[in-house]
Amino acid sequence: MKKHYIFLLSVFALLIGSSCTHEVLSPINNTPPTPNDSIPDLPPIESDCDSDSIYYTNTIAPLLGSSCGSSTVYCHNSPSDENEQIDLSSWWSIMNGDEDELVIPGNPFNSKMIEKILEGEMPPDTSSFSITNDQIDLLTAWIAQGAQDNSCNEGCDTTNVSFQSDIFPIISLYCTSCHSGSDPNGGTLLDNYSNIRNAAVNGNLIDAINWQGTVVPMPFELDQLNECYINLIQIWVDNGALDN
C-alpha cells in the first residue's frame, strides 16, 4: 500500500518536474469552521409524494406509533387480552388482526378504528395522550383512499428550515401525542412553539432525538427519527429555534 503511494507520488513529481511552467497551487482554505459546519447541508432531494395521497409508511405508521402505542408500554404494540387483541404496530397486523372491520378499505366511517376515536374511547388516557383532529382526518383519508401499504420519498430540503413548515409537522406526528395534556409524559409538553422551544433551549430535545446524553431516547421505544428529520431539527435549534 505504502509503496504504491510512494510510486504514485514520484510519477506525479516527474510529471510536474517535466513541465516548464511553474504552476501556482491554489491555497488551502484556512477559514475556521463555524458551528453549523458540523451538520452537512444535505442536497435537496426531490419529493415524489403525491400531495393528495396519504401514505402508510410516511404518515400513518408514525401517527399510530406515537398516539396509539406501538411501543411496549403503550397499548397496541402486540395483541393481548388488555388491548382486545388489537395490534397496530404494522400494516399487516392492522389489516389481518382478530378484530373484524377494524379498518374497512374505502369505508372509514364504518371502520371500528375511526368509530372508537370519534366516540372518544381511544386513545383512553387523555391527560397524557392526545390525537388531534388533523390526525383523525389523516387516518380517515388514508382509509378512504383504500388503506394501502404505501410509501413515498419525501426528499430532504435542509435549506431555509422553518418551524411552521418543517419542525412542527415532525414533532406533531412523532412526539406531541405523548407530550400533551395535563399530565404529559416526562413532564415535557411538546404541543406548541413555546413548549417546543423550551425543550430546544434546555438541550433535552436534541439529546432525546439523537439518543445521547442522560435523557431517555425518543420517540419512546419507537424507531429513531430519520436522518433528514434529525438534521432539520438540529439546524433549526442551531439557528436560534425561531418561530419562523
Contact residues toward ligand HEC (CB under 6 A) are 66, 69, 71, 74, 174-175, 178-179, 185-186, 188, 190, 199, 204-205, 208-209, 215-216, 218-220, 225
Contact 71, 65 (CB under 8 A): yes
- Residue 199, Cα to own-chain centre: how many angstroms? 17
- HSE (CB half, 13 Å, CA atoms) of 165? 8
Which of 68, 102 has the CB closer to ligand HEC? 68
Which of 76, 140 has the CB closer to ligand HEC? 76
Which of 111, 188 has the CB closer to ligand HEC? 188
Task: Give least dist CB 144 to ligand HEC, A.
Answer: 25
CA distance 114 to 111: 6
Task: Give least dist CB 84 to ligand HEC, A.
Answer: 19
Dihedral angle of Cα 171, 49, 107, 122, to the nearest 10 degrees: -10
Task: Give least dist CB 31 to ligand HEC, A.
Answer: 33
Tell me whether residue 78 is exposed, middle or buried, using C-beta atoms within 10 angstroms of its C-beta: 0 to 12, 13 to 18, 19 or more. Answer: middle
Which of 103, 170 has the CB closer to ligand HEC? 170
Which of 59, 108 has the CB closer to ligand HEC? 59
Which of 102, 209 has the CB closer to ligand HEC? 209
How many of the other CB atoms lie within 10 Å of CB of 61? 22
Contact 180, 172 (CB under 8 A): no
Task: Give least dist CB 200 to ligand HEC, A.
Answer: 9
Position with the least CB separation from ligand HEC: 186
Task: Give least dist CB 136 to ligand HEC, A.
Answer: 17
**Nearest residue to 63 (alpha-carbon basis) of 172, 209, 196:** 172
Alpha-carbon separation of residue 87 from 58, 119, 157 (angstroms)? 19, 20, 34
Task: Give least dist CB 123 to ligand HEC, A.
Answer: 10
Contact 56, 146 (CB under 8 A): no
